[in-house]
Each structure stands twice: as structure tokens, then as C-alpha cells.
Structure 1
Amino acid sequence: MGEEIKEYLEKGAVILDVRTKAEWDEGHTAGAKHVVLTVIPLEIEKIKAWNKPVIAVCRSGARSGQATQFLTNNGVDVINGGPWQNVDQYVSK
């Protein structure tokens, strides 16, 4: 998993945090984008317009898994990064 995350970050991937606003406010990866899971279908065109690979993250990996499946079905190059701290450790501070 870590290797795949590193590869995606090297490709300039956008970290997409799909947690709630309250969870986001408690802490998140610098530079990550915040789109709550429930509104991803409404934001799909915006996400596609980033024109970059995406690493979806949440608290445990479940919601980011749902986001990954939806985005994949809509043609986005995305992986499930699992808990946001998983990805955060690879982001240069």
C-alpha cells in the first residue's frame, strides 16, 4: 500500500479527504482537498477537472473505499489511501 501511495504522490496526485467537516477540522493533510463523501456525485465534474490522479482518504478506509469505487466507475484514476494518516506520513512537511 505504501509503495502505491508514494507512486501516486510522485505523479502529483491530489489527496481527497472524504470525511465530515468536523473530522476535517480536527486534522488533515496539508494541501488535501475536502469533499464530503455524500457530495462526491455532485462534485464529480470538479474532481475530473483537476486532471490528476487521486488518493482518497477518510478515517478508517471504508468511506474512501466507497469514493474510490464511485470515482473509478466515472473514469478517475484513483486509489484508496485508507486512513488519512496513512498518506500524511508520505507528504513532505
Structure 2
Amino acid sequence: MKEYSTTQVQELLDEGLNLIDVREVHEVAQGKIPEAVNIPLGLLEFRMNELEKSKQYIIVCRSGARSAQATKFLESHGFNVINMSGGMLTWEGPIE
């Protein structure tokens, strides 16, 4: 499983990253990376048809554990995904 640190993700934000935040809706309501799309982990299997296999996605959660699960799941279905290690707990970039 490929991983980026929060610092690496922050440095790449200007490149138009595709970010998927797999936290629950109530967690995202407390703040998320502006570019991130929220697809809660429990709904990922049902909503992965919204994603394109030709794109690369960075997967985000609170600490990096759920995003690691999501990354492994999406990888097993042929998606190009990267886990953001440390999650929002270590994110120092902009939030909305």
C-alpha cells in the first residue's frame, strides 16, 4: 500500500489532487480538506462506482487507520489509491 504523509499531500494540493475523506458525516462537519469529497467508509463499496479507475485518489480519515482499510479495499478493485498516513490528526493545511 502506497502512503503519503500529510506534509506530502499539502505540498501537492496545487496539482489538483483527488481526495476522498472516508470519515463519517459528523466528523467531516467539524472540518475537512477543502478539495476532499466525503464518502464514509461504510458506504465506499456502494459508491465506488462514482470513482474513475484512470484517476489517482488520496484517501483521508481521522488517524490513517480507516483510510488504510479503504485504500486496501479500493486497490483490490483496481483503483490507483494512496493512503494519507496520520490523517486529519496531523493535518496542518487548510480546512473548511
In structure 1, the residue matched to 2:17 is 13
Q: Which runs of 5+ in 2 are unaligned?
A: none
1:1-93 matches, cutoff 5 A: 1-2=4-5, 5=9, 9=13, 12-48=16-52, 51-82=54-85, 83-84=87-88, 86=90, 89=93
- Return closer, same or farther for 1:4/1:29 CA change in 2, 3 Å cut-off: closer
- Return closer, same or farther for 1:58/1:30 CA change in 2, 3 Å cut-off: same
How many residue pairs get aligned? The number is: 90
Specify which structure has the higher proportion of helix.
1
Q: Which has the higher contact order (CA 8 A, sep 6+)?
A: 2
| Aligned residues with identical type, % of pairs | 33
Root-mean-square deviation over aligned CA pairs: 2.6
TM-score, L = length of structure 2:
0.76
| Residue type of the alignment partner of 2:56 | P
Kindly state the Cα deviation for residue 75 of structure 1 after the two structures are TM-superposed.
1.1
